[in-house]
Amino acid sequence: MKELNVKKVSAAGLSVEAVPALLDKEKIVFQPIDTVNWAAYPYCPAVQFRIAYTDDSLLLHYKVSEASVRAVAGHDNGPVWEDACVEFFSIPAGDGVYYNVECNCAGTLLVAAGGGREGRVHAPQEVLDRVQRWSSLGRASFEERVGECAWEVALVIPFTTFFAHDIRSLEGKSIRANFYKCGDCLQTPHFLSWNPIELPSPNFHCPQFFGSLKFE
């Protein structure tokens, strides 16, 4: 199981556009999302992420280079996984309830909570509205663009995003989590993970295969 130490940073009044520069300054290194778990989907675009946290938020920065991009999901809690999509799944309270925070390449989000793949509860829009998003491709939706494309997204995810819990701090805690890259409706579908998944077919809703984040 992979483990990652998550550094605490000071980010009072930080805008989401400034997240990459702050993480550069804090020397937060990128981690690859490069595990190909299923031989039927061998394509492995270049994907990396880095993560830090503040008194009240998670800071996430993804960098991707892939053969095509797509951002058709035009509203939050739509099918962003069909687009060029990066995902963060975690169990912030350690009680078996995990959250999926999925973001397409235009910064459109899906956030849901539950104990398994079925019966998940979507975050209310007012919760989603508090998540700051920045995309190097802009925020407008678009049809698939074929051709090598590099893109980045940054997110400021307040702890209130974990809407089924009352998370006040993550300092000193260890939580189970995994990071993913997918694109179910891209010309070359793929399903990459940070921590490996030992299942017969693509499925990211598998907390038994989450890695560990240790918050300093």
pLDDT digits 0-9 by tens, 197-210: 999 999 999 999 99
Q: Would you kindly state where each structural domain of the chain is located, as residue ranges?
A: 3-215
What is the mean predicted confidence (pLDDT) over 120-129? Answer: 99
pLDDT at 17: 98
Three-class DSSP category at 49: strand
Task: Give the residue among 91, 137, 83, 90 at the shortest CA–CA distance from 109.
Answer: 83
Torsion-angle region of 70 (φ positive above 0: left; ψ -120 to 50: alpha; else: beta): beta
- pLDDT given for residue 12 in this prediction: 82
pLDDT at 69: 99
Q: Averaged over 176-190, what is the pLDDT?
A: 99
What SS3 state is found at 63? strand
Q: What is the pLDDT of residues 27-69, one digit of tens each?
A: 999 999 999 999 999 999 999 999 999 999 999 999 999 999 9
Domain 3-215 has CATH 2.60.40.1190: yes
- Can you give the pLDDT at residue 13? 86
Reduce the DSSP state of residue 6 to 3 states and report it. Answer: strand
**Stretch 147-166: mean pLDDT:** 98
Per the CB < 8 A criterion, the answer to whether 146 and 68 are in contact is: yes
Report the chain's mean pLDDT, rounded to a whole number.
98
Read off the pLDDT of each residue in 14-26 and give the average, rounded to a whole number.
98
Is residue 11 pLDDT above 90, yes or no?
no
The per-residue pLDDT for range 67-121, each reduced to its tens digit, is 999 999 999 999 999 999 999 999 999 899 999 999 999 999 999 999 999 999 9
CA distance 186 to 106: 15
- What was the pLDDT predicted at 105? 99
- The pTM assigned to this predicted structure is 0.98
Tokens for 61?
């920065």
